[in-house]
Chain A
């Protein structure tokens, strides 16, 4: 039964660290645009940096905020996915925002 002590120790340690993180997540909660997570999920997630942003989340933010109007900034993205992202952004855009294109 020598494994019980290490297993219990890991459970207690993992559980207490998880609790701390859970409370921290509530204390440091930030309201984020729901489109941001959706667009980040649709991008390839390679974090290649060829768009000039630090990671896919950076490009997603720029697209959502309208700083980048072309999904084509993402080089590895497949054409049909680009069209999907552009459609999604245009459908959910705020009033009077510029159109996003897929090229």
Chain B
């Protein structure tokens, strides 16, 4: 029951994009069409899950025994940067079309603060291994959910009559605000 609560609250109530305002750059950058939004969601999901497992073991089996807990930020960012490089190489070889459609946003996953937020959050909340796994799946799922919904809305907005000064990013930000309002209605769920 506790795990379900953790999952739902990380997915919907404390949604990273709409409630914590993290990862706004890819949220606006790759939401222009559905296919790259879906690709980005999977890349972020893979990076977050992988790097949070790695950093969890790094923290508990290296940093804690050496009494270097204060080094968590600097070692975690190293692991995240390496992991993103690895994903980039893999996509370039295996899925070149996805690699091209993500473009500059792929290396920018390194600076997607959601990744570091999950890694540090796992440690500061003292999660055990199972809770850590649930949390690091729920947070990127929340990110993916919002990104995919948003990219659908933006594809339809292409055909809408929007006043010229608001076309593009301004309208997108207004939509994002409305989505945040709508999602805040889920706050009483858990």
Contacts and interface: CB of A to CB of B under 8 A. Distances in A.
B104 A28 contact: no
B82 A28 contact: no
Given A9-B62, A9-B71, A30-B93, A17 B78 contact: yes
Contact of B104 (A6, A21, A29, A54): A54
B100 A21 contact: no
Interface residues of A, number: 22
Given A17-B79, A57-B103, A28 B90 contact: yes
B66 interface: yes
Chain A interface, DSSP helix/strand/loop, else mixed: helix
B104 to A, nearest CB: 4
Contacts of A6: 66, 68, 71
Given A5-B66, A25-B89, A14 B103 contact: no
Which applies to chain B's interface (DSSP): helix, strand, loop or mixed? helix
Interface size classification for chain B: 20 to 34
B101 interface: yes
A24 B100 CA distance: 20
A61 B66 contact: no
B82 A21 contact: yes
Given A25-B89, A30-B93, A55 B82 contact: no
Nearest to B90: A28
